[in-house]
Amino acid sequence: MTGTTLKVALLQETHRGSRDANLDAIETGLREAAAAGAQLVLLQELHNGPYFCQRECVDEFELAESIPGPGTGRIGKLAAELKLVVVASIFEKRAAGLYHNTAVVFDRSAAIAGKYRKMHIPDDPAFYEKFYFTPGDMGFEPIDTSVGRLGVLVCWDQWYPEAARLMALAGAQLLLYPTAIGWDPNDDQAEKDRQREAWVTVQRGHAVANGLPLLACNRTGYEADPSGVGAGIQFWGTSFVAGPQGEFLAKAGTEGRQLLVVEVDLDRSEHVRRIWPFLRDRRIDAYGDLLKRYRD
């Protein structure tokens, strides 16, 4: 990090058939990112394996691993060797019958600097995550690293302004979202376009509303439904970095592996918040009903 400028990287990848193959690809990407001068690298959601939540099957729990474990161990060693801050994403086995979708942060060290357990868990066709993941119990707490305070959230969390706001209120300097989202191949192109644009737009809105840079790293490629019932998912990639006014700093395509590397000026958040003082003008005295499910 030079002054307030931080060079970040997003590694948009496909599932390569096995954990070892995926980790090999991640190692290649981390080495490329380090060679390009990146200091912080964000990986996609559940990068060690397939997106297994297209079906409900107890056999898929065999993909889970402890933290620390083999998957985090390899990434931690690379973070230490390459002097990178790395945000990884693991299917965590916490105990027998207790599993989480967990982001793990390494701070230029093999040791784990912090973790975040996904709070919002979807349950939709092809995204049957409630069968696998217990909702997070660590709250919305940023993770302090040598490059700044990271507000790490995971995929479905990205649709909730409350999550981004709470990270901002706790002093996060960046918002980061490892993600696995894509199209139903049976949808027409207009519906596909609406869904992808909504995904991009809502996250840019979080950047604007909180005056923070935002990083979203998505999977790419087609993954079949193992049950054969569904049409599978075409993950739409489109990983991107936005500035504190929602401006695009970097954006990947919808298909194929891609490494995005871009500089982010962390000092811009201070300047943007001076001209758009959303935190100053919040009516915290009038928001009590947000604690209700719905106002009947």
Active site residue 130: no
191 is catalytic: no
Tokens of 259: 């490494």
What does the pLDDT look like over 31-62, one tens digit per residue? 999 999 999 999 999 999 999 999 999 999 99
Tokens of 113: 């600097």
SS3 165: helix
What are the angstrom distances between the C-alpha of 226 and each of 51, 61, 181, 279?
10, 14, 17, 46
Q: How far apart are CA 165 and CA 149, in angstroms?
A: 14
Position 253 pLDDT exceeds 90: yes
Report the pLDDT averaged over residues 18-36. Answer: 97
Residue 21 tokens read as 């193959």
Task: Tell me which DSSP letter residue 262 carries.
Answer: E
- Domains, in order of start, for the chain: 5-291 (3.60.110.10)
pLDDT reading at 2 higher than 60 = no
Task: Give residue-wise pLDDT tens across range 74-103.
Answer: 999 999 999 999 999 999 999 999 999 999
Decide if 53 is catalytic.
Answer: no
CA dist 28 → 74, 78, 91, 107, 109 (Å): 13, 10, 22, 19, 18
pTM: 0.96
For residue 55, CA distances in Å to 78, 173, 217, 218, 225 come to 33, 36, 23, 20, 7
Q: Which of 60, 115, 155, 217 is catalytic?
A: 155
Confidence of residue 191 (pLDDT cuts 50, 70, 90): very high
Catalytic residue among 45, 60, 129, 223: 45
- Axis-axis angle for helices 19-35, 70-82 (nearest 10): 10
φ, ψ dihedrals at 248, nearest 5°: -75, 130
Residue 136 pLDDT class (50, 70, 90 cuts): very high
Residues near 200 by Cβ (< 8 Å), separated by ≥ 6?
A: 238, 240
SS (H, E, C) 175-221: EEEEECCEECCCCCHHHHHHHHHHHHHHHHHHHHHHCCCEEEEECEE
Residue 3 has pLDDT above 60, yes or no: no
193-241: per-residue pLDDT in tens? 999 999 999 999 999 999 999 999 999 999 999 999 999 999 999 999 9
Catalytic residue among 13, 118, 217, 223: 118
